Amino acid sequence: MNLNLKVWRQKNETSEGEMKSYVAKDVSPDMSFLEMLDVVNEELIMKGEDPIAFDSDCREGICGTCSMVVNGVPHGPQRGTTVCQLHMRHFKDGDSIAIEPWRAKPFPILKDLITNRQAFDRILQAGGYISVNTGNVGDANALPIAKDKADQAMDAAACIGCGACVAACKNASAMLFVSAKVGHLGFLPQGQPERDRRVWRMISQMDKEGFGNCTNTYACESVCPKRISAMFISRMNRDYAMAVAKGECNNL
């Protein structure tokens, strides 16, 4: 099949970008979306043009590197799927496909479809961990954890940090990402000592990065390739209120 692509091209962080048209020829339905772009890029290189720069790594849907908005939807039309796992059989001959990068102030575009997502790293550095040094931590089975709690922690921990939640949110809010880490550690007994401090510090950092605010539209959970539930956001809101009420905000 042949497809009409409109792709965001931007030379670097400071330059202006624009949508440019390309034709993807002889696309096989067995190709993944990124393989289709690979083929387009091979052609561009042969023509001496700059290939479309996009991020990808594992191409198995787990590393969270790939990040593009396909026809207005982060990771494309198939739910619960990263764009690297989206295959071309979901498109038909002659389709027009618009491809854009994540758009959010805290994710500046580095080139074409590549954005800088270090804001996420900084949020985790603010408190997304359990402060325990290596060694001498006691036996792994010394602390039983209810299966239900462990399972819920795992539901939240499945987040791959791709940023689709931010890209989909009409406010470019990072609440789902932050709540997934807060939820993961907050469900576990190991995470309790730092629970207040964690949520306070992570949200403070999130605000500092310039993400938008959550208005409970749940677009984030709809596009999340790991189907992380927005109920973790609710839980985080409560944790935050508790932290503020307990005066965590006085400890900087």
Partner 1 sequence: MNQIKAIFLSSVGRKYIMALTGAALSAFVFVHLLGNLQLFLGAEALNKYAVLLKSNFALLWGYRLGLGAIALVHIVVALSLWVENRAARPQKYAVNTQPYTDFASKMMVCGGVAIFFFVLWHILDLTGGVLRPGLTDAKAMLGDKEVTDVYHIVIKGIGHPVAGLCYLIATCCLALHLWHGLESIFQSLGLRNKVYYMYIRWITRAAVLFLFVGMCLIPLVCMLGILK
Partner 2 sequence: MKLDAKIPGGPLESKWSRYKEECKLVNPANKRKFSVIVVGTGLAGASAAATLGEMGYNVICFCYQDSARRAHSIAAQGGINAAKNYPSDGDSVHRLFYDTIKGGDFRAREANVHRLAEVSNNVIDQCVAQGVPFAREYGGLLTNRSFGGTQVSRTFYARGQTGQQLLLGAYQALSRQVALGKVKVFSRTEMLDLVVVDGYAKGIVVRDMVTGKISSYAADAVVLATGGYGNTFFLSTNARGCNAMAVWRSYKRGAGFANPCYTQIHPTCIPVSGDHQSKLTLMSESLRNDGRVWVPMKKGDKRPPNQIPENERDYYLETRYPSFGNLAPRDVTSRAAKLVCDAGRGVGATGLGVYLDFSEAIGRLGRRTIEEKYGNLFEMYERITGEDAYEVPMRIFPAIHYTMGGLWVDYNLMSTIPGLFVLGEANFSDHGANRLGASALMQGLSDGYFVLPTTIGNYFGSSKKFVPSTDAPEFKEAEERVIGRLNKLMSIKGSRTPTSFHRELGKLLWDNCGMARSEQSLKTAIKKIQVIRDEFWKNLKLVGATDELNQTLEYANRVSDYMEFAELLCKDALERRESCGGHFRVEYQTEDNEAKRDDENFAHVAVWEYKGEGKEPVRNVEPLNYEVVKMTQRSYK
Where in 107-166 is the site for partner 2 (CB under 8 A)? Answer: 110-111, 114, 116-118, 120-121, 124-135, 137-141, 143-147, 150-151, 153-154, 157-158, 160-161
| Geometric angle at alpha carbon 198, from 195 and 203, rounded to 5° | 130
Closest to partner 1 by CB, 59 vs 122, is 122
| CB 30 to partner 2: min, Å | 4
- Minimal distance, residue 119 CB to partner 1, in Å: 11
Q: Which of residues 230-249 bind partner 1 (CB under 8 A)?
A: 230-231, 233-241, 244-245, 247, 249
What x-and-dash track marks residues 53-92 binding partner 1 by CB under 8 A?
----------------x-xxx-------------------
Rounded to the nearest whole angstrom, what is the least distance from the CB of residue 199 to partner 2 in the complex?
Answer: 15
12 binds, among partner 1, partner 2, none (CB under 5 to 8 A by kind): partner 2
Tokens of 114: 């590549």
Compute the distance between CA of residue 223 and CA of residue 169 in angstroms, rounded to an integer.
9
Which of positions 166-225 make contact with partner 2 (CB under 8 A)? 184-185, 188, 190-191
Residue 62, interface with partner 2 (CB under 8 A)? yes
State the Cα–Cα distance between residues 53 and 99, nearest whole angstrom: 12
Diameter over CA atoms, the chain: 63
Asked whether 218 and 228 are in contact (CB, 8 A), the reply is no
- Partner touching 4 among partner 2, partner 1, none, CB below 5 to 8 Å by kind: none
- Among 35, 27, 25, which Cα is nearest to 89's? 27
- Of 78, 84, 122, which Cα lies nearest the Cα of 210? 122
Range list of H helices, the chain:
33-46, 118-125, 147-157, 164-168, 175-186, 195-209, 219-223, 231-245
- In whole angstroms, give the CA distance from residue 80 to residue 120: 21
Interface positions with partner 1 (CB under 8 A): 6, 8, 19, 69, 71-73, 98, 100, 103-106, 168, 170-173, 175, 200, 203-204, 206-207, 210-219, 222-223, 229-231, 233-241, 244-245, 247, 249-250
